[in-house]
A = this chain, B = another copy of it.
């Protein structure tokens, strides 16, 4: 387990498609994060949005698509920290540089907000700060839940928790037999859950055998009796 497991290198530089600014947009899904003046940018699948260590000049909000935030050790071990999707924010930091990299899992469209403009806006309008605060609090809480997953849950429980989380975020938890999207690869899932691809694959296969889930195509999964999954995911 010690040595490198799935080295993931990425030497592609982001390509930014500058679009006309669309300041103070209306409200689409996600949290009630305040609306700042923003620029639209797009990234192709697997392109890097920023690298760990880059100057943390901007904050992002996902308009569409899925992003992955990664930390990588010197010897190539990778841990995915979050999968922001439509409505989610990322790239906020109290430091000068990002402490993880951000990559496009699917083609993505983002709102890019300069750090300075946020700081100025918050300065002049304290109410805005609350939105940022709420966002950070939520992310911290999710992080703490993920601690429990990474530190104390079995492979099956991690997968179940992951699927339930996805279903919830896609509003498909209550749909019986609802089909959820799995936009990311097995490697991404493994690196998010602290497992290997093989274990992820085997566990998903076992769940299919047991009738917990079924799949038509790769990249989507149907939940059969989601209660059983929630049971496994157990939460607190």
Contacts and interface: CB of A to CB of B under 8 A. Distances in A.
Interface stretch (A106-114, A145-153, A162-170, A172-180): A145-153
Contacts of A234: 73-75
Contact of A99 (B52, B77, B141): B141
B141 A79 contact: no
A122 B152 CA distance: 37
B143 A147 contact: yes
Interface in A170-202: 191, 193-194
Contacts of A78: 152
Given A141-B99, A144-B100, A133 B132 contact: yes
Counted per complex, copies of this chain come to 2
Given A129-B133, A133-B132, A148 B94 contact: no
Interface residues of A, number: 51
Contacts of A72: 236
A134 interface: yes
Contact of A71 (B79, B99, B236): B236
Contacts of A214: none
A99 to B, nearest CB: 5
A147 B146 contact: yes
A69 to B, nearest CB: 8
A78 B148 CA distance: 8
A191 B150 CA distance: 12
Interface of A: 1-2, 5, 52, 69, 71-75, 77-79, 81, 92-95, 99-100, 122-123, 126, 129-130, 132-134, 136-141, 143-148, 150-154, 191, 193-194, 234-236
14 contacts: A1-B154, A52-B236, A73-B235, A75-B234, A79-B148, A79-B152, A94-B138, A99-B141, A129-B133, A139-B140, A140-B143, A143-B147, A146-B147, A150-B194
Given A81-B147, A93-B137, A147-B147, 13 more contacts: A71-B145, A71-B236, A72-B236, A75-B234, A77-B148, A77-B152, A78-B152, A94-B133, A94-B137, A99-B236, A122-B130, A126-B126, A150-B150
The list of the 8 closest CB pairs from A to B, nearest first, reads A151-B194, A94-B137, A150-B150, A143-B143, A126-B126, A136-B136, A129-B129, A77-B152
